[in-house]
Structure 1
Amino acid sequence: MSGNGNGDNGSKKGSILSDTENVISYESIERTPTSSTQTEKFKIVENRLVRKIDLRLIPWLSVLYLLLSLDRNNIGNARLGSLEKDLNMVGNDYYTALTIFFAGYVLFHIPSNLVVKRLKPSRWISGTMIMWGICSLCQAFTHNAAGLIACRFFLGVFETGVGPSTPLFLSFWYQREELATRVAIYFGSSTVAGAFAGAIAYGVLGTMEGAHGVAGWRWLFIVEAIPTIVLGFLSFIVLPDVPETAGRWLTREEKDVAIQRTKQSGNTDENAFDKKQFLAALVDYKVWFAVMIYIGLNIALASFAVFLPTIIRDMGFSSLSAQLLSIPPYVAAGVLFVSWNSDRTLQRGYHIMAVCGLGVLGYIFLLASLNVGLRYTGAVLVACGIYPIIPLTLSWVSNNQLGHTKRGVAIAMTSMIAQCFSMLGTQIYRAEDSPRYVKGHVICLVFLGLAGLSAFTLRLLLNRENNRRDREYGVPDTKDMSGIDIDGVYDKHRQFRYAL
């Protein structure tokens, strides 16, 4: 065996070494599926590899997204302090600060996903994290609305290095039936962030108001920004890039299996950017249906994340009590269970429809009466309805795209276009509508219903296409896309079947 792990015949396929140094080639595994001993050894190494990837990537990335969510949404908690008064914010200044974040976030979605592989994921994710941490910290030292608005814009710009880029990064390491659960753990940390946000805000605003002559809301930005900057620097060391460049944390056998798994998933692109794949993503109907799902989600999500403390306060609670009562809805969201079951069944559409139904029911409860118990239950159901849609939709998009550029652009398009509507979500809850907020709740209900309908339609179309390919080409023997030329056809390849 040569030093780079290839066989003596110069084959591009990798190999696994057994404990006795006998070579088990991937080619032999693929061509002789009845060789149960070889397949079993392959699976043993693969299981060990997946555990290592899980331990290396998922906890760390989840903490990064938790910090991202805190820094993005803590303005809602700061508002219950003296933020608006101290910065002399009048009229629509607060709503402008909310909206401008999404302007920066939208503009840099596709550029971020196109450069993440070229510049290496560890460098891109870590560098942008440090920059958004600095922007978040700068909010604590602003003295007028203009300064806060500028900080929020650049906060949105740099958060694209983690938000939309991480699902693409994870697709380099995981098979499609493994992806939703991992993306759910990653995005599920935003629900943990929502719970932490209330607890941290309660502690900071309750105990640090006026400490050293600094307002409590300023301390809130400082306390939540510093960990972001510190972990950004550590991410340069912790995060790997792609399987081909994995370091000593993987054995040679595990690295070979990791490379083979990327080939099985159709991740065979040599170029960081492919113009044909870029254009194919722009005209793909699957992407546009995913955009519709995400639009419905983001209007509800953007408003829920920043207005939940205000909505709860206007049920009749004090500002500090509202901070604490904003915790249970996030705890109850159930993101991980829904996504685990979606991975187990490889069914995305049904799960999206189900949780959309929960969210719609939650908004009906919020609209139905002024009864505090019913309205608070509605807030919990809304959280259960909107947060699971994030990993389910992004995993669905990733599952049904072949090619790095096409997958990256599709994920970025889904999030980017939908984020434009997040700006609407930040504008629909107005003080004059308190305490019922009928207008805001109705808008969110309608768009969440649109998300469920879009998921139903997309699943119907994909199922019809899978059945057509089965009739015309027969049911494929394997989902392995290794060695298959997808150029020009991508997910339209006769062997490929869509995740439903």
Structure 2
Amino acid sequence: MVLSPFKARTQKPSAEVDVEVLGDASKGHVRSKEERSLVFRLDCFLMTFGCISQIIKYLDQQNISQAYVSGMKEDLNLNGNELNFFSTYFSIGYCIMLIPSQVIMTYVRPSLWLPGLEIVWGVLTGLVATSSNASQIYALRTFIGLAESSAWPGMMTLFMHWYTPTELAKRMGFYHSCQAIGGMMANALQTAMHEGLDGAQGLAGWRWMFIINAIITVVFAFAGFVCIPDYPNKPNPMAFWFSKADAQLAMDRLSRNNRTEPSPVNWVSAKRTFSNWVVYFITILYIATVLASWGYAYFSLFLKSLENPDGTPRWDVSMINAIPIGGGAIQVAFVWIWAWLSDWLRTRWVLIVAQAVIGLIPCIIMSIWNVPLGAKYFSYFISYVCLGTAPLIFAWISDLIPQDPEQRALVVGVSIALYYAISSWSQVLIWPAVEAPHYRVGWQSSIALWVLVIMMTVLLRYIDVKWMLPQRLVFKEQKEQEAAAMADEPSLEKEKDAEDYSANVQDMKDLK
């Protein structure tokens, strides 16, 4: 179903049904004991595996920055923008595989596909420890990106199939916050490697980090074979914690919230997706929010550049890795806060705009640059506050197109793939490592992007309320009428049988 604003009714919905903007057909629904048990087990298995996997994934993804400032630069004679190119090659692999992976996951069980790729990227991560030059790392990072591309969007798509609108943003936010936890662990682990294992068995501390990451990744990946329940209509037979009754209950939850059961992506669903303006609008909005907040990623380079009056480094390697952990803690806390407020207040757009406004503050301060050093520290730390837009955008997608799971999967894939396609070259131009800590256009470009985010979010809210919401109401009325007709069908048959019986009795009397 293509949600075209030009085909929808134009009456403005009343305030009492405005909650339907979120597609929350379960408002007022009291969850049964069985439903609460299902959600609890989904949290224990699907969410727990997803979150730990995301922590490990981000640990594997981000450790390159920690390694760079912890001895890799000197050991491999890296003197230019190699750190940027490490991210560039990773992004190339990521964007190439992401959309195909989203499609493959509708044909291959997620419980086989996602853990299998995790094992692959774990092995590749370990091989980075054997690298002797930048070219080898470029190749490995490309294949790591290929393997990791399924994890985040794949799990986000699964959440849309299993959780209702009042449950979804909290789970997405908690899952998304695990990126920050992984980043914090990368800093802490690199600090521990540098202090405890540097030189052990003749290996530098940064090499030990990749080895330990690989072992953790490969061992944990096997849990996914039983923890991921696949889809409500095609459950994982190896998920011992999931029963046939759970599958039926999950399908009932989909129906109650105007969702349709997932099916494989094909040419028809692809054509439906790319003929709809939603995929392009959301893609631009998502890319703008992520690129706008990217300045925080170079906090370590800022710390490494600081010097004492005598020219000695202000911070040693351990502190350079440890200080950004505070920023990661801020990110975790606020991603949870934004997500919880989103489900509680039943709104997405207000909180996206709020984050954009907050994001403008550090961009303006750092664009001025000639400010006290404390203001620069403040700017980097407050940048972590506005890193919770992605869960809200994708939760909003689930609300905007609840009846088209194939389109949702493709929109998520396209958005993330194009972001990585753009970031693979834009970061080198906008945030070149050789310009650290003062970037010519980095913070100014973020100002423009945050303004774009505010404008697009407000516009999408207007379009949703003006045109898309009435379509969802029509669809809901049709489903309710169909359900009522099916419920009345037995009684209608009984009435017909009774009429036939009366007619037969009358015929018998006439014959007599």
> Structure 2 counterpart of 1:89, which letter?
L
Q: Distance in 2 between matches of 1:96 and 1:149?
A: 7
1:232 to 221, 233, 255: 221
Question: How far off is 1:265 after superposition?
Answer: 4.3
- Say whether the 8 Å CA contact 2:91–2:142 is kept in structure 1: yes
Provide closer, same or farther for how the CA distance between residues 206 and 289 of structure 1 changes in structure 2, counting only shifts above 3 A. same
Q: Name the residue aligned to 2:267.
A: 275
Q: Name the residue aligned to 2:503.
A: none
Question: How far off is 1:378 after superposition?
Answer: 1.0
- Say whether the 8 Å CA contact 1:433–1:439 is kept in structure 2: no
1:313 aligns with 2:311: no
Q: Name the residue aligned to 2:322.
A: 324
Q: Distance in 2 between matches of 1:457 and 1:84?
A: 46
Q: Name the residue aligned to 1:180.
A: 169
Q: Name the residue aligned to 2:143.
A: 154
- Which structure dedicates a bigger proportion of its chain to helix? 2
Secondary structure of the structure 1 residue equivalent to 2:78: coil
1:292 to 240, 262, 284: 284
- Say whether the 8 Å CA contact 1:265–1:482 is kept in structure 2: no
Q: Distance in 2 between matches of 1:85 and 1:481?
A: 70
Question: How far off is 1:77 after superposition?
Answer: 0.6
Q: Name the residue aligned to 1:463.
A: 465
Provide closer, same or farther for how the CA distance between residues 314 and 430 of structure 1 changes in structure 2, counting only shifts above 3 A. same
Question: How far off is 1:92 after superposition?
Answer: 3.7
Secondary structure of the structure 1 residue equivalent to 2:70: coil
In structure 1, runs of 5+ residues without a counterpart are 1-32, 485-500
Deviations 1:223-245 (A, max 9, x none): 22221111112221322212242
Q: Name the residue aligned to 2:396.
A: 396
1:57 aligns with 2:55: no
Secondary structure of the structure 2 residue equivalent to 1:249: coil
Provide closer, same or farther for how the CA distance between residues 302 and 384 of structure 1 changes in structure 2, counting only shifts above 3 A. same
Q: Distance in 2 between matches of 1:480 and 1:343?
A: 25
Question: How far off is 1:261 after superposition?
Answer: 1.6
Secondary structure of the structure 2 residue equivalent to 1:141: coil
Secondary structure of the structure 2 residue equivalent to 1:94: helix
Secondary structure of the structure 2 residue equivalent to 1:156: helix
Q: Name the residue aligned to 1:418.
A: 419
Q: Distance in 1 between matches of 2:137 and 2:475?
A: 57
Q: Distance in 2 between matches of 1:324 and 1:236?
A: 35
- Say whether the 8 Å CA contact 2:251–2:261 is kept in structure 1: no
In structure 2, runs of 5+ residues without a counterpart are 1-25, 308-313, 485-512
Q: Name the residue aligned to 2:180.
A: 191
Provide closer, same or farther for how the CA distance between residues 462 and 136 of structure 1 changes in structure 2, counting only shifts above 3 A. same
Provide closer, same or farther for how the CA distance between residues 313 and 276 of structure 1 changes in structure 2, counting only shifts above 3 A. same
- Say whether the 8 Å CA contact 1:184–1:388 is kept in structure 2: yes
Provide closer, same or farther for how the CA distance between residues 479 and 101 of structure 1 changes in structure 2, counting only shifts above 3 A. farther
Q: Name the residue aligned to 1:352.
A: 352
Q: Distance in 1 between matches of 2:482 and 2:283?
A: 29
Question: How far off is 1:483 after superposition?
Answer: 7.0
Secondary structure of the structure 1 residue equivalent to 2:430: coil
TM-score w.r.t. structure 1 length?
0.82
2:61 to 72, 83, 87: 72
Question: How far off is 1:181 after superposition?
Answer: 1.0
> Structure 1 counterpart of 2:142, which letter?
F
- Say whether the 8 Å CA contact 1:265–1:481 is kept in structure 2: no
- Say whether the 8 Å CA contact 2:292–2:450 is kept in structure 1: yes
Q: Distance in 1 between matches of 2:257 and 2:123?
A: 37
Q: Distance in 1 between matches of 2:306 and 2:354?
A: 28
> Structure 2 counterpart of 1:451, which letter?
V
Provide closer, same or farther for how the CA distance between residues 345 and 284 of structure 1 changes in structure 2, counting only shifts above 3 A. farther
Provide closer, same or farther for how the CA distance between residues 151 and 342 of structure 1 changes in structure 2, counting only shifts above 3 A. same
Provide closer, same or farther for how the CA distance between residues 417 and 114 of structure 1 changes in structure 2, counting only shifts above 3 A. same
Q: Distance in 2 between matches of 1:270 and 1:327?
A: 39
- Say whether the 8 Å CA contact 2:365–2:371 is kept in structure 1: no
Question: How far off is 1:122 after superposition?
Answer: 0.7
Deviations 1:180-205 (A, max 9, x none): 11111111101111222221121112
Question: How far off is 1:435 after superposition?
Answer: 3.2
Q: Distance in 1 between matches of 2:341 and 2:273?
A: 28
- Say whether the 8 Å CA contact 1:204–1:216 is kept in structure 2: yes
> Structure 2 counterpart of 1:322, which letter?
I
Q: Distance in 2 between matches of 1:285 and 1:141?
A: 47
CA RMSD in angstroms comes to: 2.7
1:446 aligns with 2:438: no
> Structure 2 counterpart of 1:358, which letter?
I
Deviations 1:394-441 (A, max 9, x none): 222233223232111111111111222222135433344333334222
Q: Distance in 2 between matches of 1:475 and 1:342?
A: 24
Secondary structure of the structure 1 residue equivalent to 2:83: helix
Secondary structure of the structure 2 residue equivalent to 1:172: helix
Provide closer, same or farther for how the CA distance between residues 140 and 300 of structure 1 changes in structure 2, counting only shifts above 3 A. farther
- Say whether the 8 Å CA contact 1:114–1:272 is kept in structure 2: yes
Q: Distance in 2 between matches of 1:468 and 1:256?
A: 29
Q: Which has the larger radius of gyration?
A: 2
When the two structures are aligned, how many residues end up with a matched partner? 443
Q: Distance in 2 between matches of 1:483 and 1:405?
A: 24
Q: Name the residue aligned to 1:435.
A: 437
Q: Distance in 1 between matches of 2:142 and 2:70?
A: 22
Question: How far off is 1:370 after superposition?
Answer: 4.0
Q: Name the residue aligned to 2:104.
A: 115
Q: Distance in 1 between matches of 2:357 and 2:320?
A: 26
Q: Which structure ranks higher in relative contact order (CA pairs < 8 Å, sequence separation ≥ 6)?
A: 2
> Structure 2 counterpart of 1:62, which letter?
C
Structure 1 residues 152-161 or 246-255, which shifts more?
246-255
Provide closer, same or farther for how the CA distance between residues 467 and 66 of structure 1 changes in structure 2, counting only shifts above 3 A. closer
- Say whether the 8 Å CA contact 1:292–1:450 is kept in structure 2: no
Q: Distance in 1 between matches of 2:388 and 2:400?
A: 19
- Say whether the 8 Å CA contact 2:327–2:384 is kept in structure 1: yes
Provide closer, same or farther for how the CA distance between residues 454 and 315 of structure 1 changes in structure 2, counting only shifts above 3 A. farther
Q: Name the residue aligned to 2:6.
A: none
- Say whether the 8 Å CA contact 1:66–1:190 is kept in structure 2: yes
Provide closer, same or farther for how the CA distance between residues 48 and 467 of structure 1 changes in structure 2, counting only shifts above 3 A. closer
Question: How far off is 1:56 after superposition?
Answer: 1.6
Secondary structure of the structure 2 residue equivalent to 1:209: coil
TM-score w.r.t. structure 2 length?
0.80
> Structure 2 counterpart of 1:309, which letter?
S
Question: How far off is 1:112 after superposition?
Answer: 0.7
